[in-house]
Structure 1
Amino acid sequence: MDIFEHLRQAGGVARTAQLLSAGYSRTDIARLTDRGVTQPRRGIFVRPDAHAGFVAAIRHNARLTCVSAAEHYGLWLREPPAEYHLACNHGHNKGFIRHRTVRFNPHPVLPLAAVEDAVLHAIGCLPAPTSTAIATSAIRLHGVHIELLKDQLGGDRSRPVLTALRELDLRAESIVEVDAQHLFRANGIAFDAQVQIPGIGRVDFLIEGFLIVEVDGFAFHSTRKALRQDLARNNASTLNGYAVLRYPPEVIWFNPEQVLAEIRAVLASRKASAKAKAP
């Protein structure tokens, strides 16, 4: 393989030792500068299209992990981090967040910690629901075994991470569902998730047995068929005596008080109606 292409597959950045171990000669490496490759530091070669996070990792002799690895693994993440999170044993307070303990073999090509380490670092580093979304998506999308993660933990320092793993609710199918779960739990709203209701189908959340709450993704109603199917579900819900509230992601994220107020209003209305009908 051409060395320039090899560098691209490595994330656009590599050290001299990496290129030598891949079988390229020092002459091959020296010629990289003729093709627009720069050397921000001696022994480090960077393509113009290199990912900035990978460059930071190589410069610090580290690997991206935690929230910084999430986007590369396709994990659920709303916003990129303000600082890089790197797995290494040095560089404390050097402009990045350091994660020292690495338990799994890293990515074979890119300067990335294993997805399992990224999950463990995220749970120990980030608040919910950000960490919860990363962990849930790693388990759902990458087949990460939660018991394997638990087996790697030991000692008092790992206890909060182990507790968080035990409390994961893996029924969520998107980041917005994870955020909704967190919102409901934090405000004392009990719910069932991903409930199959006869004559209606599966709903995102069912509260107090009668209130259906759906959180719609960005691809919601992408076709006329999807619109018709969803209208039929809404009608079936009403005909079967269910109340329905629907929210797009931005309302869950940026106006949670509206969500809580409307849910509580529906619950209060049902209780008031039941009380009025009581003998």
Structure 2
Amino acid sequence: MDPLQLLDSLGGVARASTLLEAGLSSNDLASLARRVRRPKRGVYATADCRRDFLAAIMRNSVLTCASAARDHGLWIRVQPARHHLGCGHGHANGSLALASRLDATIHRGLRYQPHHTLPLAAVEDVVLHALRCLPEQAAVPLAASAIKLHGLRFEFLEEDLTARKSGRVLQTLRKVDLRVESLPEAEALLLLLPLAEALGVDVEPQAFIPGIGRVDFLIAGFLIIEIDGVAFHSDRTSMLRDRERDNSATLSGYVKLRYLPDVIWNAPERFVSEVTAALTGRIRG
């Protein structure tokens, strides 16, 4: 492979050791040095390289927590303004002190083998760091997606946090519900749980109702909530199917509310208020 193509495949930035392990020779590196920048000894970077990868490599660290979530395919809605960098346990070196001054969030303690070529922490460390660092509304969906998509065991996370006596973080982990099937559903569930607890009713994600099918949420046995994705009603067949489901639900005595993800993300108070009104209207009636 052409050295520049290899570098591009690594996000446009890599250490010399990574390039040599990938098969380049010393002559290839000398040629590459004439075509790209060398921001630090032993580091090669193109002008349009990934800035987050560059930030990690320049500081002898790897991306973790929210900064590594999308590369691992994990559910996260908002990319952080600050780079989240992970370093080996106890390595409080000058580069990481500099990172702190340059508006980066430092996570100490990498317990699992990082990615073999990219500056990315292992998914286990990414999730453990996220559970400790991120707001619950971001950490819970991220952890749920790691378990669902990567086969990370819930029990593994629970045992790790128990061993570290991380009680507060354990409470966050225990809000993970593997029945949800998307980021908007995971965030909606976190809004619904306190409401359902206050009213003394149950919330069932991905509930199956005979004659209607599977619904995103069934609350108190009568309120159906659907979180429509971006492909909602993208064709006539799906539109007709959803209309039939809505009509069947109404004829069977269910109340149904539909929301786009934007409402969950940008108007959570409205979402909670309308669900509350639907629930209390039937319960009190």
TM (norm. structure 2) is 0.88
Structure 1 vs Structure 2 CA RMSD = 1.9
2:185 paired with 1:177 = yes
- Alpha carbons 1:120, 1:161 under 8 Å: kept: no
In structure 2, C-alpha distance between the alignment counterparts of 1:114 and 1:106, rounded to whole Å? 5
The corresponding residue for 2:39 is 40
Distance in 1 of aligned mates of 2:55 and 2:9: 17
Amino acid paired to 2:83: Y
Distance 2:34 2:111 in 1: 39
Inter-partner Cα distance in structure 1 for 2:82 and 2:11: 19
Range that drifts further, 67-76 or 48-57: 48-57
Q: Which runs of 5+ in 2 are unaligned?
A: none
Once the two structures are TM-superposed, the CA of residue 203 in structure 1 deviates from its matched residue by 0.8
| Partner residue in 2 for 1:236 | 248
State the match for 2:26 in structure 1.
Answer: 26
Of 204, 207, 216 in structure 1, the residue corresponding to residue 219 of structure 2 is 207
In 1, distance between residues paired with 2:284 and 2:26?
A: 80
Aligned residues of 1:16 and 1:44 also touching (Cα < 8 A)? yes
Structure 1: gaps spanning 5 or more residues: 274-279
CA apart distance, 1:128: 1.0
Per-residue deviation at 1:161? Answer: 3.0
Aligned partner of 1:55 in structure 2 is: 54
List per-residue Cα deviations over 1:105-125 (Å, max 9, x = no partner). 111221100111111110011
Stretch moving more, 25-34 or 207-216: 25-34
The CA distance in 2 between the partners of 1:262 and 1:70, in whole Å, is: 32
Q: Which secondary structure state, in structure 1, belongs to the residue aligned with residue 128 of structure 2? A: helix
Name the TM-score, length of structure 1 as normaliser. 0.90
* Contact kept in structure 1, 2:180 and 2:205, CA below 8 Å: yes
Higher mean Cα deviation, 9-18 or 112-121?
9-18
**Which residue in 2 is equivalent to 1:110?**
118
Q: CA deviation at 1:156?
A: 4.5
SS at match of 2:37: coil
Question: Residue 37 of structure 2 aligns to which amino acid in structure 1?
Answer: T
1:148 to partner: Cα distance: 2.6
Task: Report the alpha carbon displacement of residue 168 of structure 1 after superposing the two structures with TM.
Answer: 1.6
Deviation at 1:142, TM superposition (A): 1.8
Give SS of 1:40's match.
strand
Letter of the 2:19 partner, please give it: L
Distance 1:268-1:157 versus aligned 2 partners, 3 A rule? closer
Instruction: Verify the 8 A CA contact 1:66 1:121 in the aligned structure 2.
Output: yes
Correspondence for 1:276:
none
Count of residue pairs brought into register by the alignment: 272
Aligned residue in 2 for 1:193: 205
- Counterpart pick for 1:160 among 168, 172, 175: 168
Residue 43 and residue 199 in structure 1: after superposition, are their counterparts in 2 closer, same or farther (change >3 A)?
A: same
1:260 is aligned to 2:259: no
Task: Pick the aligned partner of 1:219 from 228, 231, 234.
Answer: 231
Tell me the residue number matched to 1:277.
Answer: none
Using the TM superposition, give the Cα deviation of residue 174 of structure 1 relative to its aligned residue in structure 2, in angstroms.
Answer: 0.8
Separation in 2 of the partners of 1:127 and 1:173?
A: 20
Q: Contact conserved, 2:141 with 2:176, CA < 8 A, in 1?
A: no
2:113 and 2:122 in contact (8 A); partners too? yes
Aligned pair 1:85/2:84, yes or no?
Answer: yes
How far is the alpha carbon of 1:9 from its aligned partner? 2.6
Q: Give the letter aligned to residue 223 of structure 1.
A: D
The one of 156, 169, 182 aligned to 1:148: 156
| Aligned residues of 1:103 and 1:152 also touching (Cα < 8 A) | no
SS of equivalent residue, structure 1 residue 203 = strand
